[in-house]
Amino acid sequence: MRKTLDFIVEKIIFICGIASIIFVVLIFSFLFKEGLSFFKDFGVLNFIGGRFWYPSSDPASFGILPLIVGSVFVTIGACAIAVPIGIMTALFISEIVPKGIRDILKSLVELMAAIPSVVVGFVGMITLVSLVKNIFNLPTGLTAFSGSIMLAFMAVPTIVTISEDAIRSVPWQYKQGALALGATKWQTIRRIVLKAAMPGIIAAVMLGIGRVIGETMAVMMITGNAAHIPHSIFEPVRTMTAAIAAEMGETVRGGMHYKSLFAIGLVLFLITFLINFIADLFLGKSKNT
Amino acid sequence: MVDKIKIENLSCYYNKKCVLDSLDLNVVENEILGVIGPANSGKTTFLRTINRMNDFDVTYSRKGNVYLDGDDIFDIDAENLRRRVGTLFAMPIPLPMSIYDNITYAPKRLGLVAKKSDLDGMVERVLKYASLWDEVKDRLDASAMKMSGGQQQRLCIARVLAINPEVILFDEPCSGLDPISTAKVEELMIELKEKYTIVLVTNNVKQASRVSDRTAFFLMGKLIEVDKTGKLFVSPKEKETEDYITGRFG
């Protein structure tokens, strides 16, 4: 009796464990199938290198370069803002703030992560967009820059929580060892704490970037959604995610436009995969030294 | 006989609970002062007050004075003080970097050595001093985390020597080591007292009797007795001391 129970539980756990792998494989193969048939009709180079995204004109043009550039602009902008702020906040919470305030701060930051992205988007649309417009004297505040700020706001909690955990799990003995050798607090933080916590911090940053690239709602509401190649960060852009979300409803199932959106999904998937892969390389490296 | 460290009427508290009670003690230059006593006797608090590592504990407070060469240690910069008073902890904790970097870390931060060639020479010198050079000279770039426990402890000694302190505090330096490594560390301490002043806190009464010149016996936060090691172990003045060193309690 106990043996059968054991057997059943083991199998259930096995099925649960393998389910996630199966789902990933299924999603990937589905994207791949739809995307590939699109590539056969339109050509990979035309797709990725094409400068014009006119999916519904005649003849239609499915060049996603504007969307890729849009995503890249917004992502880089968001990282440039979120990574330094996130890591410093994590350091501040784990190393500088007294214990009582630390817990309050940390739960506030975690609360920040729980705000739905639509809400972030619409608060940003009302407050940030006009602010950006006035400060930089632009024709419109719906720009890649506004999107970057908003996404940074959404990535910061992820970066803070995970790197704070990493920083706090640095053994006190390391710090003690460095301090006992006459290092100052800042020297200890920079050379010992940050170094020992680096794998965790890199993982945090990568997860933050993942969140930024994949984010759709807020970005769609704030970046202006213009599918043209921007010349600066102060112009409206459309990201890949926003294109999929905005256009999926208007397409004919099985048509070229429909398939092209799957192809965008495939490109997105590959980009995230690449980022994860690079992160793993870094993590592996720092584990060996 | 010059007093290197002079402690006057020092009392220490955690959360207002007294763990070290009106301590008067001096450490003579170039001696090894052994500090023995059962758990909770205040030995470690005593050490952590001298190098001010207790500054990081918010529940800690103290009264009284400690002088290093006549300077009030609570008036000196904590970093500066810790450069003059090196510490070796019970658990050898190499920093998460290579053997070479472990030793050069502090001198570089403190600006003691500038040139690369000087650094190389310094690393070799302190590693030889800590009798570790022959074992690691071919793998200075290897991670210090991969060394054995005894090697790590000797690396930590080398690391302390690299900042060229005046006093070295040993906090139960052999508690995790095998007898052979222990013997090496003890030998090393005796060599080191030529140049440095040493305070050795230990749970191992025999170790104190082997190594130290004078021994202090702490009990429940009070200094019971301090005397020449030979005298304290042969004819202690206090009954508690006798009971402790003969193993009747604690």
Q: What is the structure's pLDDT at A285?
A: 62
A197–B contact, CB cutoff 8 A = no
* β-strands B60-68, B3-14 pairing: antiparallel
Helix axes A99-113, A144-168, angle to 10 degrees: 140
Q: From B206, B226, B227, select the one nearest B218 (Cα to Cα).
A: B226
Classify residue B81 by burial, with Cβ atoms within 10 Å: 0-12, 13-18, 19+: buried
The pLDDT of residue A6: 92
Facing residue for A182 by CB, picked from B58, B97, B110: B110
CA pair distance A134, A157, nearest whole angstrom: 28
Residue A26 pLDDT more than 90?
yes
Question: Quick one: tokens of A279?
Answer: 């992160």
What pLDDT does residue A286 have?
58
The stretch A72-84 carries a mean pLDDT of 93
Name which of A189, A227, A195, A257 is nearest A52 in CA terms: A227
Band of pLDDT at residue A7, cut at 50, 70 and 90: very high
pLDDT in tens, A245-277: 888 888 888 888 888 888 899 898 888 888 888
Look at residue A81 in the predicted model and tell me its pLDDT. 94
pLDDT for residue B250 is more than 70: no
**Closest CA in chain B for residue A177:** B93
State the average pLDDT for chain B.
87
- Considering A7-11, B68-72, B148-152, B232-236, the range whose residues carry the highest mean pLDDT is A7-11
CB contact under 8 A, A180 and B110: no
Give the residue-averaged pLDDT of B147-166.
88
Q: What is the pLDDT of residue B214?
A: 93
DSSP state of A252: P
Test B96 with A184 for CB contact under 8 angstroms.
no
Which residues of chain B does A177 touch, with a Cβ-Cβ cutoff of 8 Å? 89, 93-95, 156
Residue B199 CA to residue B215 CA, distance in Å, equals 10
- Give the per-residue pLDDT at B109: 79
* Cross-chain Cβ contact A174/B95 below 8 Å: yes
Q: Using CB atoms, which residue from A173, A182, A192 is nearest to B82?
A: A182
Average pLDDT on B168-182 reads 86
Residues with Cβ within 8 Å of A248's Cβ and at least 6 positions away in sequence, in order, are: A258, A261
Q: Which CATH architecture has domain B3-245?
A: 3-Layer(aba) Sandwich (3.40)
Residue B157, chain A, CB below 8 Å: the answer is no
What pLDDT score does A178 carry? 85
Backbone φ and ψ for B17, nearest 5 degrees, come out as -85, 125
Write out chain B residues lying below 8 Å of A176, CB-based. Answer: 53, 89, 93
- The tens digit of pLDDT for each residue in B187-236 reads 889 988 898 999 999 988 889 899 999 999 998 888 988 989 988 888 88
Q: Is A214 on the interface with B (CB under 8 A)?
A: no
Q: Do A182 and B87 touch (CB under 8 A)?
A: no
Residue B40 has pLDDT above 60, yes or no: yes
Stretch A6-10: mean pLDDT: 93
Mean pLDDT of B80-89: 88
Read off the pLDDT of each residue in B75-90 and give the average, rounded to a whole number.
87
Cα nearest neighbour of A289 on chain B: B143
Nearest alpha-carbon partner for A280 in A197, A212, A207, A171: A207
Sequence-distant (6+) residues with CB within 8 A of B226 are B25, B214, B215, B216, B217, B232
Q: Does B79 touch chain A (CB under 8 A)?
A: yes
Q: Which of B141, B138, B100, B142 is nearest to B122 (CA)?
A: B100
> Which chain B residue has its CA at the smallest distance from A172's CA?
B93
Helix (H, G, I), strand (E, B) or coil at A151: helix
From the list B51, B56, B95, which residue is nearest A178 (CB)? B95
Q: B12 - beta bridge partners?
A: B20, B62
Q: Residue B110: its chain A contacts at CB < 8 A?
A: 182-183
Whether the per-residue pLDDT at B131 is higher than 90: the answer is no
Residue A78 has pLDDT above 90, yes or no: yes
Q: Considering only CB atoms, which chain B residues are within 8 Å of A196? A: 96
Of A184, A192, A289, the CB nearest to B143: A289
Question: SS3 helix, strand, coil % of chain A, rounded to 5?
Answer: 80, 0, 20
Pull the structure tokens for residue A213.
């690239």
Looking at residue A289, its pLDDT comes to 47
ipTM above 0.95, yes or no: no
Q: Per-residue pLDDT averaged across A135-140, rounded?
A: 86
How many contacts does A have with B, using Cβ atoms within 8 A? Answer: 64
B58 reaches A (C-beta below 8 A): yes
Please answer whether residues A147 and A223 qualify as being in contact, where contact means their C-beta atoms are separated by less than 8 angstroms: yes
Closest Cβ–Cβ partner in B53, B80, B91 for A180: B53
CB contact under 8 A, B96 and A192: yes
Q: What percent of chain B has pLDDT over 90?
A: 16
Domains of chain A listed by start with CATH number: 68-248+268-288 (1.10.3720.10)
- CB of A60 less than 8 A from some CB of B: no
> What distance in Å separates the CA atoms of residue A39 and residue A169, rounded to the nearest whole number?
47
Distance, CA of B136 to CA of B159 (rounded, Å): 14
* Tokens 């988007």 -> residue: A121
Domain ranges of chain B: 3-245
Does B110 lie at the interface with A, CB-CB under 8 angstroms? yes
Tens-place pLDDT, residues B52-66: 888 888 888 888 889
Q: In chain A, whose CA is at the least distance from the CA of B159?
A: A181
Q: How far apart are CA A196 and CA A169, in angstroms?
A: 9
Q: Which amino acid is at B18?
A: C
Mean predicted confidence (pLDDT) in A191-206: 87
pLDDT digits (tens, 9 = 90+) for B93-129: 888 888 998 888 888 877 777 677 788 888 998 998 8
Calpha distance B65→B153 (Å, rounded):
31
Residue at B221: amino acid letter: G
Between chains, do B96 and A195 touch, taking CB under 8 Å as contact?
yes
d(C-alpha B51, C-alpha B74), whole Å = 10
**Cα atoms in the Cβ-side hemisphere of radius 13 Å centred on B225:** 17
pLDDT band at A281 (very low <50, low <70, confident <90, very high): confident
